[in-house]
Structures are given as structure tokens and as C-alpha cells.
Amino acid sequence: MKVLTVVGARPQFVKAAVVSRELRRKRNDHEEVLVHTGQHYDEELSEVFFEELSIPRPDYNLGVGSKSHGKQTAEMLAGLETKIEDENPDVVLVYGDTNSTLAAAIAASKMEPPLAHVEAGMRSGSDIPEETNRVLTDHGGDLLLAPSPDALDNLEREGITEGVHFTGDVGYDALLWARERADESVLSDVGIAAEEFVLATVHRDTNTDDPERLEAILSALADDPRRVVLPAHPRTVDCLEAFGLYELAERELTLTDPVGYRQFVALLDSAAVVTTDSGGVQKEAFFLDTPCVTFREETEWVETVESGWNTLVGADGEAIRRAMRDATKPDEKPAPYGDGNAAERIVEVLANATGI
């Protein structure tokens, strides 16, 4: 079976790593062609991940870079159409909710190979671009690989019942792999001790591009008596500087450069609480038993909220302060995302569906 895998952003590198390892473990039966769209083009957000996660170097890098949604998706679509035509894969495999995923979905829908979508069925109920990408990809997909029972329900509500498979969440596979290899040297590098700090990430444009929301989040973080460690995404730094908030952040928080995945897992595992607007971090915190406070009004990972491990606060400063102060570990935790063997199930589904 020949699989053409499309990745473009940091979370996808993490998810793709475990499936790539499974495909290549059975290299006598399967071949993977890895295409990197270049959506994340910063070295610290891209190339370093291929090294750290033991992902083979991409066979192709489209080098699209940062552009408006329309221009970025269009350039990816043109490049991916050519690669699919040249490689003639048995299946095109995409992950998550990015423009890279949507572009690959459109390209595959116009051509022969079936489209398989990892994280199919995830819905937040919002009108963010990521939600549009998810819905369009699922409705154009052939194999919908759902990570949770809730995702299965969402697909069924939208009338999608064929080609649907519950596989569990590849993020759990990746987290288990990384936890065994977590780079705890980052704690001493930053000068922090376990359970004595708050970890923060802010990168969604709904927060970073709105000066009022960004200032509200920043002020709430600054008011927490514990050290707040913020590995700063490049777009976040740009926005802090543009809105005159960088000096406040530098003075009140512990700003660091972006960290590698194994370092981030060490920070997340050791934090008293994590505050974030990332979908992936909400889920990783859940896996690691770290209470989470989310700077969004909705989430795809509803199980984390329903079980009490995650609190949605938007950019309401007082709600952020209260949630950070009150964050505790619930006595129980469900297991809706499978058993850490999603990659194996995904490869099995792909092989069965292609008859190879």
C-alpha cells in the first residue's frame, strides 16, 4: 500500500509521527510518501520536529509559508495535485483541521485515490476557519478515522455513516511515546520546579490578533502568584510587539523561545496547571493529568470539559484568574480516546480499504 501523507503544521508532525512509524515498521507491505506543505516554515516549528520525533525527512516540501487563507490554500492545492498525480498513491492521508488538510482534501477529491482523515468528526460548534476545514474535509473524505465516540456522533448527525471507523486518538499514541522520552532538562534550563509553575500557550488568531483579548489574557496570567512560563509562538511575539504588550509580558512572565515536543511534554507534565488556546494541548494535558484552563469559548475535546479536567474561559480576565486559582485534579478520569494503539488501527483500516 502506497500512502501519501500530507502535513504542514506542528500538531500534524506529532500525530503523523506515530502513524509513519507504524507504516515504516511494515515497510515490506507499505510505502509512505511524506509531503510537507511548508505551512509552518519556522525551523523551530517545523524542521526540528522531524528530528526530534524520528520522522523521516519529507519527500517533498512545497514551501508555501505564511499567506492569507485563500492564497495559502490555493498554492497548496496546486502543489499537492501535482504530487498526487506524480506519485499515484493508493490513499491520501491527512490530519486535523489546517489549510494543508483542506487543500489535500480538495486535491484528492478531484483525483483517483481515496482520502483518509485522521481526527474526523471533531466539532467545536464555532465559525473559526479550523471548523470549516474539518467539516469540508469530512464531507469530501472516503475514510473517516474518528478519535472518540463524540466524533462518531457528530459524523452521524451530519449524515456521514459510510467509511467511518473508530480508531482512538493518535495524539494519545504520540504522548505515550514522548512521555517516555521527555526532555526534563528544560526545567533546570528555565529554572523551575515541578508543580510550582503555570505553563501557558497562546497562538490562535482570535486571541493574538485582538489587542483587547490578548491584553486581558496577559494581565490575568501576570496576576497569578506563581511563575508563568510562556514558550512564545512567533506570531504571538509579533502581536505582543505590535500592540505594545511585549514589555509587560517580558516583565511579568517567563518568556522562552518555542520548545521541542519532548521538552514541551516535560513542561506540561510538571506544571501545576496549563493555560492555552490550543486544541492539542487541552488533550495532552488531559492525558498527563494536568488541569487545563482554555482561552476559548468552545472546544472540540468536549470530554475534557465534561469530566472536569478542562475549563473554558474565553478571554474573560476574571474567569481566567478564578479558573487558574481553583484548578484541581478531579478524582476520576474517563478514557474516551482509546488505548494508545490508534496508529496500528489506522494502518489496518487503510490496508483493508485499499485491499493491499
Annotated active-site positions, please?
Answer: 203
For residues 319, 321, 326, 332, the Cα torsion angle rounded to the nearest 10 degrees is 60
What are 228's strand-pairing partners?
Answer: 198
Interacting residues of 24 by C-beta distance below 8 A, sequence separation 6+: 30, 32, 56
Pull the grid cell for residue 55: 520522522
Q: How many CB atoms lie within 10 A of CB 51?
A: 10
Whats the size of the chain, residue-wise? 356
Rounded to whole angstroms, the maximal C-alpha distance in the chain is 59
Q: How many CB atoms lie within 10 A of CB 136?
A: 15
Backbone dihedral region for residue 96 (phi beyond 0: left; psi -120 to 50: alpha; all else: beta): left
Pull the grid cell for residue 161: 455513516
Which residue spans within 151-242 are E strands per DSSP?
Answer: 164-166, 197-200, 227-231
